[in-house]
Every structure is written in structure tokens, then in C-alpha cells.
Structure 1
Amino acid sequence: MTRTRVVAVAAALAVAGGAAATAITGSSPAAAEPGAVVVSENFSSGSLPAGWNAVDGAWKVENGRLYGTSASASANNKVTFGRHLNDFRFEATMRFESVSAATRWASLGIDVPADGATPWWIATMRSGTTAANGLEFAQRTTADAWVVTNTASAPYAAGTGRDVRVAVEVHGNQARWIFDGREAMRTSSLQRSTDGVQALFVNGGTVSYDDILVTELPPNGYLRPEGSPFTVIAHRGASAAAPENTLVAQEIARKGGADWIENDVQPSKDGIPFILHDDTVDRTTDGTGKIRNLTAAQIKALDAGSWFGPQYVGERVPTLAEQLADLRTRGGNLLLEIKGKHTKDEVATIIQVIRDEQMMGRVFVQSFEVDALKYTYELAPELPLGLLRSSLDADPVAISKELHLTAYNPDGNALLARPEVIAPLHAAGVAVMAWTMDSASLWQRLERIDTDAIITNRASELVGWNSAFMQRASAEPTVEITSPADGARLDRAQSPVIAVAATNADSVTVTLDGEKSAAGHQLDLAKLTPGRHTIRAEVTGPEGTATATSTFTVTVSQAGLGYLILTSGADESALNTMSVKLAHGQYAQLAGWVDRQAGKTVPAEAAAVIAADARTLALG
């Protein structure tokens, strides 16, 4: 991928089955500008920073880190800080110092009342991070119960005594859990308050934190960050597996891991918004007639499932209110297409239903109809908007600005024919959602041109493709030189071995000061000149190459000079003479004597190094 945008999270995973989030309370973005650092703390002051509130538990600053201790698994000890933000990235270095069990955890508080009272939302990491629930998004309710909306495992266990850099990127009710630089999990089920702040938590152990950074992000959370998979949008629900635009299709798509459900809305004769794609009920029900000529009662009497398969007999055409209620209570977000021409009053009715169902934070409106988007913006500017296009505009950025678009949503094939439009749209902060693409070959091409989201009839298959994409991403080679450590100062008496740690690599090439060497090679520091030396390692694997360098310094010391003398191969009398001069610190005399004995009682090559180091010590 070529994108270098550092913008926030793609739309997040819906909760698969089970009870999920209830009402989403809208919250106004904080006053900070995107990119503004809201909190930056390394605890160098030696005390708890001003404005940080140790709500409960033992919290102390020591050795440049913040330590929190919780004596039991029932104590969710926390410290709160920062301020309310709608779009932000929260980063920290976390280290489990000790835990009572591998199930114990520490968390980044995403939305926590300043006084620590419930309800609050956290992004959790267990010390046993590779467990199926090693990472979690969870809420502690006012009834002191847990609602765990999403779980995932990390690529390795945090364990104890190991620093792990973690981050959470939040956009309203959506968040992305990032473990050591890689996305591990998403959620779309946060319930945001209007005043919750950030926090740190510890449960059942002692955890230390360092380098806390909270940064304001741009508001468009639909742009796909580099290395992250597509946002998966289920076209008319799981339309390849169930009757389209029904609640059962929505349920199957949700359980299959779709991030968003895409459906169409049109009014009945009596003005009730229904979920239906065609302008007639003929194709997808056992009835006939235009939807706008049928009353709500007539539409609700229709069978919308038997046409697809006998197991779906009795499925009904849902109202928009019914669909939103299902999403609200069972999890998920709605990409809602306003289908066909709508008056301003008809659009107002749609928006009122969304408000009544408390789903303003979880609905994205799209349409082919420019007027429908203009009405939506006029009536509810907080709703994100997407313009559907069968062919691309001459200037997609210009129309995006004119219509206040969050996303530009073209036919995928038209997009593939003009991929150059994506970069300027991204630069303008506009996401790109392609429709309706149903094959892995097309997904691969769309990924390469940096498309953000895919509307597809095969949502569960795209979810699987995304998983494979993440595995491919994690297959990129890595390399680290673990010995000698970068910045090490070594004397002649030491004999370090070049050690290289690599992953996903087929070959490893190592050089010392530009000359070929090898991992496992023991360095003979007696033969290296004093000063800086550089080891470089390059690894190559199926997914590319990676490099690392380590620069160490060979120092001149009395102990090192003693080692040179003892290993010089000089005869016994010469060894005695050199050792006496070394012991008395007679470095200049030692250098002169060795020069005279070079090639005689002291081998010439060894004599040159001994004399040079002795003169360096003489200069002191």
C-alpha cells in the first residue's frame, strides 16, 4: 500500500449475536484540532501529574513510571485524567510487574467519568494475552455488571516484565484496539457519554505505565488506516444467504462479522419508512404493487421470505424503526440508502425515526439522489453522508465538498477504471466505499488502490478474506540485532556474539563495518580499532525485506589492555615485563617497550594493538 495517512479507525466490527449496546448518546467533539496532543506524560516529575485523579487503589510514580496495584480480582482500581474527546488516539506503554493469575488485566479507559463511577468503557489487555479473550472491549454497567462486546487474542503473551506498546483509536461509538502497532480488534458498540475522560486501570496485580499520549484525531473514522483490512458492508444484509432487506438477513450478516448492514428505505402510502429495495413488492414478497401505493398494514401482511427459500416462510418486510431497534439491541450499524426521489418531509420522517430509535450515532446515510443528501444535511448535519455513483464525477472532490460528504461511494468497476481519484479524496478527508463487489480477485485489486470499504453480497466471505489479509500483513519479515546491543560500550576483554532475531525470513545477511559477517559469529575485539563499529542485518522473506543496525563502541581500558597482553602470544619474560608496567600504570613506557620488542618477544600484530592502546591510556 502507498497510503501514508495517519488517520483513525475504519468502521468497526458489529457484535455477533448476544445482547450488545443500547442507546448511543451523541457527543460533541472536543475543541482540540486534529493532531493536537491533549495528554503527553512520561512521569519524569516523580509524582502524579496535576489533574490526574487516583480514584481508588494504590497509585505511585517511581523510576519514571506510574505504578498501579490491585490486591484482588474484584478491585478495578483506576486513575482518571484528560478530558472528553469524540475522536482520539490513546497510547501507552504497559508492563505487568506481577499478577495473581494470567487472567488478570490492565486497561485503557476510553470513556470514564472523572470520579470513576459507572458506567465506563475500557480496552483491556490480560497478561495471558494469547487467550481467546486476551484483549477485550468491555463496559462496566451501573449495575456493576460486565458487558463484553468484543474479544481477540494477541500475537504473543504480554506476560510479566515486558513492555508492550498499545493504543486505542476511537471515533464516537467505534474503536480499534492496536497491539504493538497492529490492529487486533474493532468494535462499533461503545456507548459514549458527553463528559467521560480517559483512565488507566489495574486488576489483580501490579502494572506500570509510561509514555502516555492522547491525541485528537480527524472526525472521519471511515478512512482505512494503513495495514488495516476493509470495512465490510453487507449489501441488503446477508443477501446471498437469506432474503434481502429482512431482519433474518441482518442477523446472519451480523453473526458473520459484517461491520455494517446496508439497506434501502422507502415510504409506504401512509408515510411509514420501510426497508425495501425495489419500487414494487413484486420480486421479494408474495404481493404486488408499488410500495408507495400500499399502506403499512398491507405491507406488513406480505410474506418476504418464501421467495428465497422454504425455511424463510413468514419473514416480513421490516419498518425502518424495527430494523434500527434490532441493531440497537443486538449490535451493528446501518448504511442506509434513501432509495429514489424523496421530498424533504419524507427525509425528515426518516431522520425522526433514527432519532426516536436513538441511533443517530450508528447510521450512515447514502443515496444516488443529491436532493436527498442535501435535505439530510440540512435537517441532521451530524449524520455522515455518502454519494452513490454508477460512474465517477469529473471532480469527485469538488462534489464531495459541495455535499459535505463523509464518503464517495462509486461502482467498484468504475473505481478500478479510475483509481487515481482515491488519493485526492483521501487528502480531502473523504472515504471511498465501492459497490457491489463479490469476488476475491476484485477485493484484492480494490485493496491495492486503497479503497476503504466494500459493499458486498458475500459479507462473511469478505470477513474471511480480511482475516487472511491480516495474516499476510503479519507475515512481513522483522529483524532485530540483540547482541551487541545498540549503543553498547565494550572493552577488549569482552567477546560478544552477533545475535539476530528474525521472523518470516528466508535469508539473513549480516555485515560488520560493511564487511561480510554472520549471525552467531564471535567478535574478536582485540583486532578491532577503538571507536564505533556498525553491524547491519538484512532479512528477506516472501513478504519483503527488513533491516536493522546496531552500533557499538570499542573502548580502551586497563582491563582490556591486560587481556591483550595475556592473549598476545608473547614469551614469558615479555608477559611479566608488560604486566608489571600495566599494574603500575606506566602506559607510555609500556608502549615504547612493546614497540622495541615487536616481532621479537612480542608478535608484531599483537604488539601494534598493545602499543596503541597503551598510548591512548597514557593520554588519559
Structure 2
Amino acid sequence: MGNGIDQALSADWPYPRLVAHRIGGKLAPENTLAGFEVCGRLGYGMVEFDAKLSADDQIFLLHDDDLDRTTNGHGPAAQHTWQQLASLDAGAWFDARFRDERLPTLAQVAARCASDAIAANIEIKPCPGRDEITGRLVALAAKDLWRAQKPLLSSFSFEALRAARDAAPSLPRGMLFDALPDDWLGTVRELACVSLHADHQHLTQHNVRTIRDAGLRVLAYTVNDPVRARELAKWGVDMICTDRLDIIGADVVG
């Protein structure tokens, strides 16, 4: 990497600068194992993905509360058992060549991260009314499934991240925000977070410096413009989460 910013990322921060949003970004069906092929081909060493619970509390990957956009299923995911969810096609919506790609379990993703030596940012994405149980079960599972490098947990849900903290305090946590609220520092300190994750459109050089001066790392999402990625890297943003794995590489962020 070779510049001052990257050299400042000490041994207590093992995560790479670039993070593949929903595993494959816009190059593979999101939140599926197919995205790992893209990550390997384009040299990405970290993935971000969304974890939620089925009706019978199996942990699987899906962004939306409903199944309709990214599978051939219909209705709320939380109303389906894992047996029902496991039969769905989660790839054909993206491209016919991904037909019969399945929704993966957290265990399957953990195994792939281990075999490919890829770090993970697990976004805890509870279905409505299931914040606490989702945070707790995801954290407990992640603690057991990731044996080498610890995954970084994150969530927009304070309740989910608090439950994750209580269930697996040894796992690092990052609070997700859209725009930064006035009380962001109190929130991340209460949850004992190591990082703050924010929409890049609301990040400025000043607030990046303020966040880092508070002892936190910074993740910016979802950055799909190389010029903006380069700017954020110069400001000291630690992780840049992107859909555009094909145009934002190590040569862009230094």
C-alpha cells in the first residue's frame, strides 16, 4: 500500500481498505456465494453482507425484508422457514447465467471466507420486530463460525448491535448511520464500537478527522466513483464499501 494513511493501520486493525458491498456489488447477484468468484478475480479481500433470521431462526443472507426483489419468492422473509427459503432461486433475477443460485446460510459464507482468506463485515439486518434476537443469534453464530480473523459486526439497529455486544463482546462492532446524528459519539461509545459506518455523501474531511480523533475507524458506503474513493482515502477513511469492484481497486485508493 505504501502511503502514510495505510501505514497508520496498525496490527489491531486487520481489515483491508476495500470492501465488496453485498459480496458481489453489481457484478453478481447480491448476498450470494457467486459474489466470491468476483472478489477473487478482482483481488478483493473483504466482503460485506446482510444477515437475518428465517421464521425458524436460521441465519441466512438477504438485504430486503421481502423476498420479491432478489428471489422468486414472495412476501416477508420472516414468515418463511429455512426449508422454504432454501428452495428459492436467488440468482435468475440478476442474470440467467446465475439461475438456481441459492440464498446462503451464514455458515456457508463463513466457510467460504475461510477457504478464500477473505475478511467479513456482517451487517445485522433484522426483519421488523426481530432486532434483539437477530443481533444475539448472529453474534453468537459469528463467534463460533469465524475461527481465524474476527468478523466486523455492524447494524443500523441500536437494539440489534446492543444484543450482539452482550452476546459476543469479543467481536468488534461498527454502528451504521446514514447522516451522522448529533449524538453519534454517545451512541458508539455506549455500544463499545470500534468503527463508525456512514453514507459517504454525508462524510466530510472535517467529520472524518473528528471520528478518527475519537479513536474510531471509518467505513464509507456505497462508493462507486473512483474519484470519490480516492478523496475519501486521502481523508483517512479506513474502509471503502463499493459495488464497483471492477473500477475501484488498490491503484485507486493507494
Tell me, yes or no, whether TM beats 0.5: yes
Query: Displacement of 1:426 after TM fit?
Result: 1.5
Q: Distance in 1 between matches of 2:45 and 2:241?
A: 10
Summarize deviations over 1:315-347 as a string: whole Å, max 9, x none: 000011111111112221111111135343333
Counterpart of 1:285 in structure 2 is: 71
- Give yes or no for contact 1:397–1:424 (8 Å, CA) kept in 2: no
Q: Distance in 1 between matches of 2:73 and 2:184?
A: 40
Q: Distance in 2 between matches of 1:4 and 1:254?
A: 25
Describe the shift of the 1:358–1:220 C-alpha distance in structure 2 as closer, same or farther (beyond 3 A): closer
Summarize deviations over 1:546-594 as a string: whole Å, max 9, x none: xxxxxxxxxxxxxxxxxxxxxxxxxxxxxxxxxxxxxxxxxxxxxxxxx
- Give yes or no for contact 2:135–2:161 (8 Å, CA) kept in 1: no
Secondary structure in 1 matching 2:122: strand
User: How do 1:432-511 residues align onto structure 2 when only pairs under 5 Å count?
Assistant: 432-463=218-249, 466-468=250-252, 470=254
- Give yes or no for contact 1:8–1:220 (8 Å, CA) kept in 2: yes
- Give yes or no for contact 1:354–1:360 (8 Å, CA) kept in 2: no
Q: 1:350 aligns with which of 138, 141, 145?
A: 138
Describe the shift of the 1:288–1:421 C-alpha distance in structure 2 as closer, same or farther (beyond 3 A): same
Query: Displacement of 1:422 after TM fit?
Result: 1.8
Secondary structure in 2 matching 1:274: strand
Q: Distance in 1 between matches of 2:132 and 2:230?
A: 40
- Give yes or no for contact 1:336–1:363 (8 Å, CA) kept in 2: yes
- Give yes or no for contact 1:272–1:319 (8 Å, CA) kept in 2: yes
- Give yes or no for contact 1:243–1:249 (8 Å, CA) kept in 2: yes
Deviates more, 1:420-429 or 1:311-320: 420-429
Counterpart of 1:405 in structure 2 is: 193
Secondary structure in 1 matching 2:240: strand
User: How do 1:225-374 residues align onto structure 2 when only pairs under 5 Å count?
Assistant: 231-340=17-126, 342-359=130-147, 361-374=149-162
TM-score, normalization by structure 1: 0.38
Describe the shift of the 1:353–1:403 C-alpha distance in structure 2 as closer, same or farther (beyond 3 A): closer
Q: Distance in 2 between matches of 1:5 and 1:312?
A: 36
Q: Distance in 1 between matches of 2:6 and 2:24?
A: 32
Query: Displacement of 1:395 after TM fit?
Result: 4.6
Describe the shift of the 1:289–1:253 C-alpha distance in structure 2 as closer, same or farther (beyond 3 A): same
Q: Distance in 2 between matches of 1:247 and 1:320?
A: 11
Q: Distance in 1 between matches of 2:76 and 2:243?
A: 25
Query: Displacement of 1:442 after TM fit?
Result: 1.3
Query: Displacement of 1:358 after TM fit?
Result: 3.6
Q: Distance in 2 between matches of 1:368 and 1:457?
A: 19
Give the percent of matched residue pairs that are identical in Structure 1 and Structure 2. Answer: 29
Query: Displacement of 1:265 after TM fit?
Result: 0.7
Q: Which amino acid aligns with 1:467?
A: D
TM-score, normalization by structure 2: 0.90
- Give yes or no for contact 1:304–1:316 (8 Å, CA) kept in 2: yes
Q: Which amino acid aligns with 1:231?
A: R
Secondary structure in 2 matching 1:362: coil
| Greater strand share, structure number | 1
User: How do 1:192-211 residues align onto structure 2 when only pairs under 5 Å count?
Assistant: none
Query: Displacement of 1:262 after TM fit?
Result: 0.5
Summarize deviations over 1:164-184 as a string: whole Å, max 9, x none: xxxxxxx3xxxxxxxxxxxxx
Q: Distance in 2 between matches of 1:321 and 1:349?
A: 12
Query: Displacement of 1:391 after TM fit?
Result: 0.8
Q: Distance in 2 between matches of 1:444 and 1:357?
A: 34
Query: Displacement of 1:366 after TM fit?
Result: 0.4
Secondary structure in 1 matching 2:29: coil
Q: Distance in 2 between matches of 1:277 and 1:468?
A: 28
Describe the shift of the 1:469–1:246 C-alpha distance in structure 2 as closer, same or farther (beyond 3 A): closer
Aligned length: 250
- Give yes or no for contact 1:258–1:460 (8 Å, CA) kept in 2: no
User: How do 1:121-160 residues align onto structure 2 when only pairs under 5 Å count?
Assistant: none
Counterpart of 1:392 in structure 2 is: 180
Residue 428 in structure 1 maps to residue 214 in structure 2: yes
Summarize deviations over 1:348-392 as a string: whole Å, max 9, x none: 322232233244733110000011111111111111111111111
Q: Distance in 2 between matches of 1:421 and 1:358?
A: 32
Describe the shift of the 1:469–1:424 C-alpha distance in structure 2 as closer, same or farther (beyond 3 A): closer
Q: Distance in 2 between matches of 1:315 and 1:438?
A: 25
Secondary structure in 2 matching 1:459: coil
Q: Which runs of 5+ in 2 are unaligned?
A: none
Counterpart of 1:8 in structure 2 is: 9
Q: Distance in 2 between matches of 1:343 and 1:279?
A: 12
Q: Distance in 1 between matches of 2:161 and 2:222?
A: 21
- Give yes or no for contact 2:19–2:242 (8 Å, CA) kept in 1: yes
Q: Which amino acid aligns with 2:188?
A: S
- Give yes or no for contact 1:324–1:359 (8 Å, CA) kept in 2: no
Describe the shift of the 1:265–1:468 C-alpha distance in structure 2 as closer, same or farther (beyond 3 A): closer
Summarize deviations over 1:228-285 as a string: whole Å, max 9, x none: xx71110011221111100011231233111211100110011101100000111111
| Greater helix share, structure number | 2
Q: Which amino acid aligns with 1:253?
A: C
Q: 2:166 aligns with which of 378, 394, 398?
A: 378
Secondary structure in 1 matching 2:149: helix
Describe the shift of the 1:249–1:349 C-alpha distance in structure 2 as closer, same or farther (beyond 3 A): same
Query: Displacement of 1:304 after TM fit?
Result: 0.7
